[in-house]
Amino acid sequence: MSMHRLSGCPSCAEPLEEGDRFCGVCGYAVSAPPPAAVDHPTIPIPPAPPAPPAPPAPPAPSARPAAAGAAAGGYGSPAPGVPHAAAEPAPGWGSVAAAAPTLVDEPAAWTATPAEPDPEPEPRQGPAGVTYAASGHGNPYGTGTPPEGTPWGAAEHPYGAADGPETRHDRPGDDPGTPAEGAPWGPGEAPYENPPLPGGAAGGKTCVACRAGHVDTDGYCEHCGHAQPRERDHIEEELGSVAAVTDRGLRHHRNEDSFAVSATALPDGSAATVAIVCDGVSSASRPDEASAAAAVAANESLLEALPRGAHPQEAMHEAILAAAAAVNALAPETPGAQNAPACTLVGAVVGGGLLTIGWVGDSRAYWVPDDRAALPRRLTEDDSWAAQMVAAGLMGEAEAYADVRAHAITGWLGADAYDLDPHTATFKPDHPGVVVVCTDGLWNYAESAREMAQVVPADAATRPLHSAQVLVGYALDGGGHDNVTVAVVPFAMHPEQEPGPDAEPGPAAGPE
């Protein structure tokens, strides 16, 4: 067996028998040279700039087979039977030749008339009489740009037919159709909607921190555990003649203070202003509920009594009793089961040229005249251990209030109060000023009347809300160790009022 004999068909690799001149499967001529490999580059071959063609010579009889072979072998590939070395390399792909590639078209096509281009589409009329050419694939660069807002034609829309419904891929299931502008998303459709967490209460409040979890009944997020701000953490209210602000402070986890401000008319048609401030006793149960109930009850009692002509001092006394009854109603049915809810109360009524104060506990009222050259006064006396020590002459004021027992109250509103003894006093100031009604969350940082007068803004009579905000801010800047509640009630002098001494000075009305 010859070493140079082919063992298989060069075209289909079919085994050959000795003496075969043609493949029995594909018919390939075994005696012919093997076909040259066809080069298929993986990047486009940039054509070289064509050279001016020379006048064609009459084709030789063998020119047609050569051209056919070039066409069969592809660009730059020899036809079967042509040695690979004789093939001209493809310009631009490993080639050093600068010549143009060999033409492979029919000689007759070189001089043939070029095909007629597609007819130019007829222009269409746009809005406002503007004419521009219709779009078409025959002109890849376009022949004009339609005006802004011109609708696409039936076959021109770049993303499909404009008449059919648009597919919204951001809607579940790619539902067709686009909702009208401003139409709300359906359930589960909003692309950025946070789905409710498993186990979350449907319809509950959403956490202000993580924006995903629901808030439980205790005010904490079930997902991240963040404590939610309560509605009573900071409240401001202003009427024409009174304003109040309450704040949780910086140390307490909730606001146990409460207030109520209102205005009504006396029988003679003049106005009366009411301010009630209550401080829940933290050592008792539900102190926030106690202060809220007391403030509402006292305010409603005054609004009922003053218009029917009751004396302000009598009306204040009855209002404190009504507040005590409201707090007592919060006590548990089983005595001794827990500390009964409790709170303190201080209130002020300004009307008819009189200033009436009522209190139980250690919340206070201060008189601050508009003329800061006049003496300010503290109008209340605390129901506290320190006040009792000073009243009994057992300790000096500075020593008593420095004691750790100083703020232990001896009077409050609640079912377990020893003996309810409401304090009331009526004054008739002879100059204009403001009454500051507050809890100990403020006066702990400005205890004396002089200190309080220094903190109250000079325009408090005309800007009561601003003044209350300033006073609360002063307490917060001082440390904010307790809840802070302040009401500012202006007292204006009328021309018909004659200056006179205080109607009932009392021990608390003396200057400090």
- DSSP letters for 104-126: -S-HHHHSSPPPPPPPPPPPEE-
Q: What is the pLDDT of residue 231?
A: 85
Alpha carbons 478 and 466: distance in angstroms, whole number: 18
pLDDT cut 90: percent of the chain above it: 46
List the one residue out of 306, 257, 293, 297 whose CA is nearest residue 277: 257
Alpha carbons 199 and 213: distance in angstroms, whole number: 10
Q: Any idea which of 160-174, 201-215, 472-486 has the lowest mean pLDDT?
A: 160-174
Radius of gyration of the chain (CA): 50
In this predicted structure, the answer to whether residue 154 has a pLDDT above a threshold of 70 is: no
Q: What is the pLDDT of residue 182?
A: 53
Give per-residue pLDDT as tens, 380-421: 999 999 999 999 999 998 899 889 998 899 999 999 998 898
Q: Any idea which of 144-153, 256-265, 306-315 has the lowest mean pLDDT?
A: 144-153
Read off the pTM.
0.57
The pLDDT of 148-170, averaged and rounded, is 47
Q: What is the pLDDT of residue 186?
A: 55
What lies within 8 Å, CB to CB, of 152 at 6+ separation is 158, 162
Alpha carbons 249 and 479: distance in angstroms, whole number: 8
In this predicted structure, the answer to whether residue 489 has a pLDDT above a threshold of 90 is: yes
Alpha carbons 215 and 212: distance in angstroms, whole number: 10
Between the ranges 34-38, 170-174, 479-483, where is the mean pLDDT highest? 479-483
Alpha carbons 488 and 275: distance in angstroms, whole number: 8
For residue 232, the SS3 value is helix
DSSP per-residue codes, 40-64: --SS--PPPPPPPPPPPPPPPTTHH
The pLDDT of 313-326, averaged and rounded, is 98
The pLDDT of 84-97, averaged and rounded, is 40
Instruction: Supply the mean pLDDT for the chain.
Output: 74
Q: What is the pLDDT of residue 349?
A: 98
The pLDDT of 190-210, averaged and rounded, is 57
Q: What is the pLDDT of residue 167?
A: 41
**Exposed, middle or buried: residue 448 (CB in 10 Å: 0-12, 13-18, 19+)?**
middle
C-alpha 23, offset from chain centre: 81
Q: Any idea which of 105-109, 116-120, 367-371 has the lowest mean pLDDT?
A: 105-109
Q: What is the pLDDT of residue 311?
A: 96
Q: Which pLDDT band, with edges at 50, 70 and 90, does 58 fall under?
A: low
Give per-residue pLDDT as tens, 442-480: 999 999 999 999 999 999 999 999 999 999 999 999 999
Alpha carbons 469 and 452: distance in angstroms, whole number: 14
Give per-residue pLDDT as tens, 220-238: 888 888 877 788 899 999 9
**Residue of 87 and 208 predicted with greater confidence:** 208
Q: What is the rounded end-to-end Cα distance, in angstroms, of the chain? A: 136
